[in-house]
């Protein structure tokens, strides 16, 4: 009995200590690395939008599944050298508020539409989606084709393959998400993050590394819900179709990864990926394919110069 009591006291003390450590660290992060952009209301929640540079057309970056926009900031900084470029955090990711209800694909496009309108972002845009962000970009194109001047798909997911293959990952996401959420709130993720980041994070400039650490050290309620809700709340009839020629003569560049493995395409779909990327390149009559021969799936993170070029 006494041993059980002491065990409970020790565990409770550790939990309280971890939570207190996390809260103090988050306040320090908020002072040192505040959100670089603006918080824009899109209804019952706000999205974080960061724009930089001058010029037209405006480039809009769309990050991958469950991923905050901070991962694409190195590419954004390079693009800002020659034109206006924006990125945003979807609901529950990065600096954005969590949504009050589950968001399907249509809801995520609604969020994007309201964000662009209320922030006064000039269109048409050059969309630069990475990975699963491509599904959102193509759905936005379906809804507002005149608002899209061209696209650069950075190993973007083909919708048919995304909707077929993503559920294979959901069981693991559901299993690990409570661990992630608890780990964030108890300061565990913060403690191990410096030893667990991929190599491209080590190459970030100090200010971008600070922003990366600040974002990934705090809880992101949407990390798992972002792709899961998009799949579960999107009827088959509302899934975007990637039809050859749908972009007509708008410029399109498809950048495909050249190195398998890493944190990217599941191995069982790796063999299908090149053909799917080739189909995406045919969405425009002037579509081009570029193979990032030295990069894994997160091309924008591993090779920002290639994406900006």
84 CB burial (10 A radius; 0-12, 13-18, 19+): buried
Domain extents in the chain: 33-308
Report CA torsion sign: 89, 94, 99, 103. positive
Report the mean per-residue pLDDT for the chain: 93
Identify the pLDDT of residue 25. Answer: 87
Query: How does residue 2 score in pLDDT terms, banded at 50, 70 and 90?
Result: low
Q: Does 252 have pLDDT greater than 60?
A: yes
pLDDT tens track for 58-116: 999 999 999 999 999 999 999 999 999 999 999 999 999 999 999 999 999 999 999 99
Q: Which of 309, 298, 306, 305 is nearest to 70 (CA)?
A: 298
User: Is the pLDDT assigned to residue 14 strictly greater than 60?
Assistant: no
**Does residue 146 carry a pLDDT above 80?**
yes
Whole-number Å distance between alpha carbons of 188 and 67 = 19
- In this structure, the strands spanning 38-41 and 252-257 are unpaired
Contact call for residues 151 and 137 (beta carbons, < 8 A): yes
Distance separating alpha carbons of residues 114 and 111, to the nearest angstrom: 5
Residue 248 backbone phi and psi in degrees, to 5: 55, -120
Q: How far is CA 16 from CA 7, 10, 85, 214, 276, in A?
A: 14, 10, 42, 21, 49
CATH fold group of domain 33-308: Rossmann fold (3.40.50)
pLDDT in tens, 178-195: 999 999 999 999 999 999
DSSP 53: -
Radius of gyration of the chain (CA): 20
Give the global pTM: 0.94
- 126 bridge partner residues: 59, 150
């Amino acid at each position: 009995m006494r041993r059980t009591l002491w065990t409970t006291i020790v565990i409770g003390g550790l939990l309280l200590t971890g939570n207190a450590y996390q809260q103090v660290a988050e306040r320090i992060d908020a002072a040192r690395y505040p959100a670089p952009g603006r918080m824009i209301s899109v209804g019952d929640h706000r999205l974080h939008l960061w724009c930089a540079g001058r010029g037209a057309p405006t480039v809009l970056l769309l990050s991958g599944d469950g991923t905050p926009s901070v991962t694409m900031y190195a590419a954004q900084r390079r693009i800002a050298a020659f034109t206006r470029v924006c990125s945003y955090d979807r609901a529950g990711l990065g600096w954005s508020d969590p949504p009050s209800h589950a968001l399907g694909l249509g809801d995520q496009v609604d969020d994007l539409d309201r964000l662009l309108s209320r922030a006064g972002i000039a269109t048409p845009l050059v969309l630069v989606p990475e990975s699963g962000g491509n599904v959102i970009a193509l759905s936005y194109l379906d809804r507002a084709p005149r608002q899209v001047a061209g696209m650069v798909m950075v190993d973007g997911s083909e919708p048919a393959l995304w909707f077929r293959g993503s559920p294979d990952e959901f069981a693991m996401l559901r299993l690990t998400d409570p661990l992630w959420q608890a780990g964030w709130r108890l300061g565990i993720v913060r403690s191990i993050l410096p030893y667990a980041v991929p190599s491209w994070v080590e190459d970030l400039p100090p200010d971008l590394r600070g922003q990366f650490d600040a974002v990934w050290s705090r809880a992101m309620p949407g990390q798992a819900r972002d792709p899961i809700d998009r799949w579960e709340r999107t009827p088959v009839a509302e899934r975007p179709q990637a039809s050859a020629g749908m972009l007509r003569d708008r410029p399109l560049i498809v950048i495909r990864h050249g190195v398998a493995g890493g944190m990217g395409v599941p191995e069982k779909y790796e063999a299908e990926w090149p053909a799917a990327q080739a189909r995406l390149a045919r969405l425009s009559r002037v579509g081009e394919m570029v193979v990032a021969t030295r990069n894994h799936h997160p091309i924008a993170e591993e090779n920002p110069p290639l994406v900006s070029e």
